[in-house]
Amino acid sequence: MRSYWMEAYGCQMSKAESDAIESLLLGQGWTKASVSEQAQAVILNTCSVRQTAENRIWGRLGFFAHQKSVQPLVLILTGCMAERIPEELSSRARYIDYIIGTNDKMRIVDILNSRVTKEGVVLDRVKGAEAPVKGDVYEFAKLHYSKDDVTAYVPIMNGCNNFCSYCIVPYVRGREISRSVESIIDEIKQLDAMGVHEVQLLGQNVNSYKYGDWTFARLLTEICRHLVNIQWVRFDSPHPKDFGDDVIEVLAREPRIAHHYHIPLQSGSDRILQLMNRRYDVSRYLDIIDKIKAVIPDATFSTDVMVGFPSETEEEAEQTRKVMERVGFIEAFMYYWNPREGTRANDMEGQISEKDKVARLQKIIDFQLANCALIKRNRVGDVQKVLVTQVSRDDSKQMLGRNEHSEMVAFDARDVLEIGSVVSVKFNSLNGNTFQGVLEDA
């Protein structure tokens, strides 16, 4: 019997693509190894957004180089590192058997089938790392779902045309390409028939979706027409420049679209946003938020925020904090600018010292934690639907789940509930960022 080991790094798109590969492998008789040492094939689906991500993967490569020295193993590296530094990988890590670009991930199954027999025997090949494989067109899989997940991730587009000055994504993911409406609806219908209760539409700029005369707003409307079991539809990550009134109208009209929206801010300074090449200003961003709140009073928001961008002043960092206060985000992914080779910001003047970047980041983290706790405490006493995700590791009589606003909820249950079921929970208290509650009688 042949088995594989998969490691996915980075964004949810990487997770979805990895799930698609695993689904194909399982469908062709492969099994998932419980530990990497039991596998005849290892697949690393990599990330290049930050240098720290690549550093971690180099460490894992060293681990698998040792594993290959003591047992037969096919080692495949795919994803954004394969796009960004294929030649460096070939020269520094010649023990990698195949370096597969983002557009060719679906070839991995055929490659492994040719290298590992059904009995689990690893066949030899020519010595030296394979020449990097990089195709011209991104290929969407038919299904991206892992049966162990509560949420199904559905890619609807890939790539980026925006070229934000700090971001490597357009260089490793290529230009935007949208998936056909038919294949998206087919996957949604299949997931709904499987009893999935939550789907998340994915794309580097998910609301930039454009397929013929199909816009993102029209696609959302069509998806909602086919839902029976699916309770919540989410999407990530939208770009503010493409967040039109037509999308907001659909969000207000369709009850299955969850009332929680992740809308990246990045900075509260118009000057910094311009340097970032974000193509919107603070006024435009707040206009989107205000329009959503006007038609969806219980809407909640999360965001991405960067401080310490080249030439940013203390006053501009404070402007970012003020926008965060104005919106009232219940979650924020906060980080400071790290130089990234290949981006325009890497060569900009006015690089901020590490000490100042850390101090600015800590200031907004402290603010966000306090402000988020204040917002959430005001909702103690609410009764909300909760998607059950797991049994608590600390207490077998307690279940964990997420509500419509993507917040963690822990609640007591008389019996262990089915993972993936949707129940009503009354929030009695708040412990950190987690609501504590009790199951409401049906």
Q: Which range has highest mean pLDDT (152-161, 309-318, 388-397)? A: 309-318
123 domain-assigned: no
Distances in whole angstroms, Cα of residue 109 to Cα of each of 35, 65, 148, 214: 20, 21, 21, 32
Q: Helix, strand, coil shares of the chain as percentages rounded to 5? A: 40, 25, 40
Residues 373 and 391 in one domain: no
**Which residue range is the domain that position 91 belongs to?**
3-115
Q: What confidence score (pLDDT) does residue 128 get?
A: 42
Q: What confidence score (pLDDT) does residue 440 get?
A: 86
CA 111 to chain centre: 27
Q: What confidence score (pLDDT) does residue 147 get?
A: 77
* CATH code for the domain in which residue 279 is found: 3.30.750.200
Cα distance between residue 431 and residue 233, in whole Å: 27
132 domain-assigned: no
Residues 248 and 157 in one domain: yes
- pLDDT of residue 71 exceeding 90: yes
Residues 78 and 93 in one domain: yes
Q: What is the pLDDT of residues 377-431, one digit of tens each?
A: 999 999 999 999 998 888 888 899 999 999 999 998 877 788 888 999 999 999 9
Residues 172 and 151 in one domain: yes
Q: Which of 65, 100, 115 is the last residue of a domain?
A: 115
- pLDDT of residue 149 exceeding 90: no
Q: Which of 199, 233, 258 is the last residue of a domain?
A: 258
Query: Beta 74-79 vs 98-100: how paired, if at all?
Result: parallel
Place of tokens 């209760």: 197
Instruction: Give 119's DSSP letter.
Output: T
Residues 90 and 31 in one domain: yes
Extract the tokens encoding 171: 């260089």
Q: What confidence score (pLDDT) does residue 312 get?
A: 98
* Mean pLDDT, rounded, for 9-23: 91
Beta strand residue intervals within 9-81, DSSP E: 31-32, 41-46, 74-79
Rounded to two decimals, the pTM is: 0.89
Q: Select from 93, 2, 117 the least CA-distant residue to 44.
A: 93
Instruction: Give 133's DSSP letter.
Output: B
Give residue 134's pLDDT band: very low, low, confident or very high (50, 70, 90): low
Q: What's the structural domain count of the chain?
A: 4
Place of tokens 């008389």: 414
Q: In 9-160, where does DSSP find H-type helix?
A: 12-27, 51-70, 80-84, 86-92, 108-115
Q: What confidence score (pLDDT) does residue 133 get?
A: 54
Place of tokens 């000055």: 165
Cα distance between residue 312 and residue 244, in whole Å: 29
Grouping H, G, I as helix, E, B as strand and the rest as coil, residue 24 is helix
Residues 105 and 204 in one domain: no
372 domain-assigned: yes
- pLDDT of residue 135 exceeding 60: no
* Mean pLDDT, rounded, for 333-351: 94
Residues 252 and 268 in one domain: no
120 domain-assigned: no
Q: Which of 258, 281, 297 is the last residue of a domain?
A: 258
Extract the tokens encoding 108: 């991995």
Cα distance between residue 302 and residue 438, in whole Å: 26
Residues 144 and 253 in one domain: yes
* Mean pLDDT, rounded, for 350-354: 97
Residues 241 and 189 in one domain: yes
Report which secondary-structure segment, H or E, holds 384.
strand 383-391
User: How high is the mean pLDDT of the chain?
Assistant: 92
* Mean pLDDT, rounded, for 113-140: 71
Residues 10 and 106 in one domain: yes
* Mean pLDDT, rounded, for 173-190: 94
Q: What confidence score (pLDDT) does residue 150 get?
A: 86
Cα distance between residue 172 and residue 103, in whole Å: 10
- pLDDT of residue 127 exceeding 50: no
